[in-house]
Amino acid sequence: MTVHGFNLQVEEVDNGPIESEAGGILTIDLAAIEANWKTLAGLTLPVECAAVVKANAYGCGLEPVTRKLARAGCRTFFVADLTEARRVRAIASDASIYVLNGMAPGSTQAFAHGRFRPVINSLTELAEWDAFVAETKWAGGAALHVDTGMNRLGITIEEATALVPRIESEDHGLSLLMSHFACAETPDHPMNDRQIRTFREIRIMYRGMPSSLANSSGIFLGGTVFCDLVRPGIALYGVNPTPGKNNPMHGVVAAQARIIQVRAVNRGETVGYGASWTAGRPSRLAILAIGYADGFLRSAAASKGKPAAAVIIRGHRCPVVGRVSMDLLAVDVTDVAEGGVRRGDFATLIGDGMSIEDLAAAMGTIPYEVLTSLGHRYHRIYDEG
């Protein structure tokens, strides 16, 4: 695909190894992603609902997710970098595509070629962008990111105030004013109110410019933060944007791992690297063909004060025993009926009552890391619904 003389390769969807050879299977429910986007879009009407598809659509597959959401009516996408932007453009030719990490030095021409919109995160970036626009007369637009408390990217409040006269010019070149919540998943956190009030003051100064503040959890803080565009990310992929409450999103990802061996271990024998687990009874173990190289983190093993993560086999929660290896994982299946676990069967990592949140908690991390760590050695099944 060629856009303004710039070649955009349409990448084939990577389904990983064939199912019969894969150590694990990921099933991604694209219909659920579409339903989640429509739910969020309905909650925020008449405000536009964008979609954040960075990090390979949070591990779910950038191409199939973008295609599904574009067909559902999504017209604005947010990505992290230019590589992701090109992949989205190859599918959504007319969409507005914002690049959250802004511009690397000397990358302005690439933004123009792909019709991407940089998120300007500093005055240095703004100066480089302005020089490019003045020279080329390019009018594709850019977002101005104002830091309201995250202290990560974005210009300061003082810098935003100093730039206010700029918007009086008809060719100011800014298509969006934005900021980012630091604590939206904790509704009563005082930082939320502080950021809302600060961004409201900036919006008043930049009156007439479209604005955006709400991420997934931010949407559930209420209509005062919707502004002109909301940009959900993790909620699209089934993770609860309202921790502690019922999840309003449909589940998206199911993960299974192949059992490649069932073995007996005598009482007193150890398992895995470091001999960190000792059988307290005669035990049966299932060895799964996944490990930390597949996103099942080493922290899933038991540690002082923290029980091990578990997988589901034949309706039983079977705990991880020993350390998680790069390619292998041992779980205790002693309590599953004799003969009920066989080589070639599958254990459920996500699904069958084991949510992403459950697995993340057992690993001592967050659902974001679990999703984005799921590797390419799984066979991927995309369910269109």
The crossing angle, in degrees rounded to 10, of helices 62-72 and 30-43 is 50
User: Residue 385's pLDDT is what?
Assistant: 81
Q: What's the CA dihedral at 131, 134, 140, 144 to 10 degrees?
A: 50
Q: 203 lies in a domain?
A: yes
Q: Is the dihedral of CA 175, 181, 182, 185 positive or negative?
A: negative
The domain spanning residue 90 has which CATH number?
A: 3.20.20.10
Q: 54 lies in a domain?
A: yes
Side chain identity at residue 332, one-letter code = D
Q: Indicate if 185 and 37 belong to the same structural domain.
A: yes
User: Residue 181's pLDDT is what?
Assistant: 97
Q: How would you class 295 by CB atoms within 10 Å of its CB: exposed for 0-12, middle for 13-18, buried for 19 or more?
A: buried
The domain boundary residue, chosen from 202, 237, 272: 237
Number of domains forming the structure of the chain: 2
User: Residue 321's pLDDT is what?
Assistant: 97
Q: 248 lies in a domain?
A: no
Give phi and psi for 152, each to the nearest 5: -125, -70
Structure tokens at 288: 């799964």
Which residue, chain included where needed, has tokens 């000792």?
Answer: 278
Residues in the chain: 385
User: Residue 13's pLDDT is what?
Assistant: 67
Catalytic residue among 38, 245, 273, 368: 273
Instruction: Please give the Cα distance from 13 to 221 (Å, whole number).
Output: 36
CA proximity to 296, closest of 227, 230, 381, 356: 356
Which residue, chain included where needed, has tokens 């059992």?
Answer: 259
**271 beta partners:** 277
Q: 243 lies in a domain?
A: no
Q: Indicate if 82 and 201 belong to the same structural domain.
A: yes
Q: Indicate if 271 and 143 belong to the same structural domain.
A: no
User: Residue 282's pLDDT is what?
Assistant: 97
Give phi and psi for 142, each to the nearest 5: -155, 160
Q: Indicate if 229 and 280 belong to the same structural domain.
A: no
- Residue 245 appears among annotated catalytic residues: no
Q: 92 lies in a domain?
A: yes
CA proximity to 38, closest of 121, 30, 135, 201: 30
Q: What's the CA dihedral at 207, 209, 213, 216 to 10 degrees?
A: 140
pLDDT by 10s per residue, the chain, length 385? 443 343 444 445 678 899 999 999 999 999 999 999 999 999 999 999 999 999 999 999 999 999 999 999 999 999 999 999 999 999 999 999 999 999 999 899 999 999 999 999 999 999 999 998 888 888 889 999 999 999 999 999 999 999 998 888 777 889 999 999 999 999 999 999 999 999 999 999 999 899 999 999 999 998 889 999 999 999 999 999 999 999 999 999 999 999 999 999 999 999 999 999 999 999 999 999 999 999 999 999 998 888 999 999 999 999 999 999 999 999 999 999 988 999 999 999 999 999 999 999 999 999 999 999 998 999 999 999 8
CA proximity to 249, closest of 260, 265, 238, 259: 238
Element (H, E) at 129: helix 123-136
Domain that holds residue 303: 253-383
> Do 93 and 3 touch, CB atoms closer than 8 A?
yes
> Do 161 and 144 touch, CB atoms closer than 8 A?
no
Structure tokens at 370: 């679990």
User: Residue 171's pLDDT is what?
Assistant: 76
Instruction: Please give the Cα distance from 54 to 78 (Å, whole number).
Output: 7
The domain boundary residue, chosen from 237, 271, 297: 237
> Do 293 and 326 touch, CB atoms closer than 8 A?
yes
The domain spanning residue 341 has which CATH number?
A: 2.40.37.10
Q: Indicate if 94 and 207 belong to the same structural domain.
A: yes
Q: Indicate if 217 and 262 belong to the same structural domain.
A: no
pTM recorded for the entire structure: 0.93
CA proximity to 61, closest of 252, 206, 201: 252
Q: Indicate if 270 and 325 belong to the same structural domain.
A: yes
Q: 25 lies in a domain?
A: no
Q: Indicate if 230 and 294 belong to the same structural domain.
A: no
Q: Indicate if 188 and 89 belong to the same structural domain.
A: yes
Q: Indicate if 59 and 185 belong to the same structural domain.
A: yes
Q: 130 lies in a domain?
A: yes
User: Residue 12's pLDDT is what?
Assistant: 56
Q: How would you class 15 by CB atoms within 10 Å of its CB: exposed for 0-12, middle for 13-18, buried for 19 or more?
A: middle
CA proximity to 120, closest of 172, 55, 182: 172
The domain boundary residue, chosen from 172, 203, 237: 237
The crossing angle, in degrees rounded to 10, of helices 62-72 and 82-89 is 50
- Residue 38 appears among annotated catalytic residues: no
Q: 353 lies in a domain?
A: yes
> Do 284 and 341 touch, CB atoms closer than 8 A?
yes
Q: Indicate if 89 and 46 belong to the same structural domain.
A: yes
Q: Indicate if 221 and 285 belong to the same structural domain.
A: no
Catalytic residue among 38, 54, 98, 245: 54
